[in-house]
Amino acid sequence: MRFTKMHALGNDYVYVNCFEEKIENPARLAQIVSDRHRGIGSDGLILIDRSQTADVRMRIFNADGSEAEMCGNGIRCVAKYTYEHKLAEAGGAFSVPGQLSCPASLNIEAAKGVLTVGLIMDDSDKVQKVCVNMGQPILVPKDIPVELDGEKIIEQPIEVLGHELLMNCVSMGNPHAVFFCDDVGVIELEKLGPAIENHSLFPNRVNVHFVQVDKPTEFTMRTWERGSGITMACGSGACAACVAGVLTGREKRLCTAHLPGGDLDLNWCEGDNCVYMTGPAVEVFKGIWPER
């Protein structure tokens, strides 16, 4: 099996071009290749395949083999791979209202639907950054899903491992729980992360983020990803944190997220209510995984 290792802000996945490769058991393969000691080493596996409704289709499998609905960092790498390996012809320009314009675009199918991405190339026509229209945030509890009543979950008290926390829930096609704090560096993420991920309130488990607001246009966050553990970045989680920050009056709609792996530019646009995320995508190396 030929594969490509890629990362976006250190959130790394093994990518397989299913235009050329056939994967029989992607859930099991994700567990094997993600192992950082006995495999390739990654946060999971992403398959790039043909689509009936878009330029390409992506499927995301976490390191534990579970399938995810969306990956903000992963979709940027899929866009880069698709363009540079000529799996599809790029479309016309893509603009973010009041922010930037990208010279080319692609449509990528994910479990949450088809997303449009804008491509920013260097002088050698290599994709350096990708802007993704992540769509409108989902705030209704049953649609996230989280088993609580009400129209939104904003600053909801929750007790976890003896800690009283205020929780904000947002779906960006996948579920997120956002907690604001004074210092993300002191959070025991390795303990709180799995406890919240597997809390009974979340029937599909949840991605967990602790966010420190540096100023209204910047925040620092750390993430425990559902099915993968602590990761260096979470694109959809950064979008959820932006939305939660605006709804709690902590942040502006146009802001920058500082993650352990680097920065993401975010814009929760008032005009169309969509969240736009812009950040890098990097190809690390190619290889061949032996048949087993």
pLDDT in tens, 172-218: 999 999 999 999 999 999 999 999 999 999 999 999 999 999 999 99
CB count in 10 Å sphere of residue 62 = 23
pTM: 0.94
Tens digits of residue pLDDT in 121-169: 999 999 999 999 999 999 999 999 999 999 999 999 999 999 999 999 9
pLDDT of residue 292: 63
Reply yes or no on whether 71 is catalytic. yes
Q: 2-134+279-288 adopts what CATH topology? A: Diaminopimelate Epimerase; Chain A, domain 1 (3.10.310)
Q: Which of 71, 77, 239, 255 is catalytic?
A: 71
Question: Helices in the chain by DSSP H: which ranges?
Answer: 26-34, 72-84, 189-197, 235-247
What confidence score (pLDDT) does residue 95 get? 86
CATH superfamily for domain 141-278: Diaminopimelate Epimerase; Chain A, domain 1 (3.10.310.10)
**pLDDT per residue over 111-132, tens digit each?**
989 999 999 999 999 999 999 9
Q: Residue 157: which of 177, 187, 184 has the closest Cα?
A: 177
Q: Is residue 85 scored above 90 in pLDDT?
A: yes
What distance in Å separates the CA atoms of residue 219 and residue 238, rounded to the nearest whole number?
A: 9
**Residue 98 scores a pLDDT above 80:** no
Q: Where are the domains of the chain?
A: 2-134+279-288, 141-278
pLDDT-based confidence at 86, cuts 50/70/90? very high
Could you give the 3-state DSSP secondary structure of residue 256? strand
Q: Which of 131, 169, 234, 274 is catalytic?
A: 234
What is the overall mean pLDDT for the chain?
96
234 catalytic residue (yes or no): yes
What does the pLDDT read at residue 60? 98
Q: Same CATH fold, 141-278 and 2-134+279-288? A: yes
